[in-house]
Amino acid sequence: MEITQEINNLTRQIIGAGMEVHSGLGFGFLEPVYQKAMERELIIRNILFVPQAGLKINYKDCIVGNYYPDILVANKIIVELKALEEVDYRQIQTQIINYLVGSKLQVALFLNFGKPSLEFRRILIPKKFQTFNPL
């Protein structure tokens, strides 16, 4: 999978927005506070997003459920927000990969506001789950 320059630029802008929010609020608030602050920062930066967008999860050509990412940017990037002091990165990565596989998106960002410095990770859908879609 080749990540486009557009995706790279968007991920940098989202991380920058997260850093701005963390700089302004610090750590210690609950996740909904950071959610609203991120939404505000994305608006200020003219980044198209949908909060809590419903993504349909498919299994064998059947919709089996919905997933509501914290933020969906440009219908291309899932942004998962947390405000945790202790993070199980393996569990978070597994969860986000499942979201990518189920939604058929390629890229996600994990932002954690629960520590003195913003933690962030970019997660790509594993190669074995990538599908060729010529359209």
Q: Which tokens in the block code for residue 101?
A: 């596989």
pLDDT of residue 7: 93
Domains and CATH numbers, the chain: 5-127 (3.90.320.10)
94 in Cβ contact with 125 (< 8 Å):
no
Average pLDDT of the segment spanning 99-117: 93
Asked if residue 42 has pLDDT above 90, the reply is yes
Per-residue pLDDT at 134 = 41
pLDDT for 129 equals: 77
Single out the residue of 125, 58, 76, 61 nearest to residue 96, CA to CA: 125
Tell me the one-letter amino acid at 55: L
Please provide the size of the chain in residues: 135
Using the predicted structure, report yes or no on whether residue 126 has a pLDDT greater than 70: yes
Residues in CB range of 58: below 8 A, 6 or more apart: 64, 102, 104
Amino acid 44: pLDDT: 98
pLDDT-above-90 percentage for the chain: 72
pTM for the whole structure: 0.88
Q: What percent of the chain has pLDDT over 70?
A: 94
pLDDT digits (tens, 9 = 90+) for 51-91: 998 888 878 889 998 889 999 999 999 999 999 999 999 99
Structural element, H or E, at residue 42: helix 31-44
The whole-number pLDDT of residue 1 equals: 55
Q: What share of the chain is helix, strand, coil (3-state, %, to 5)?
A: 40, 25, 35
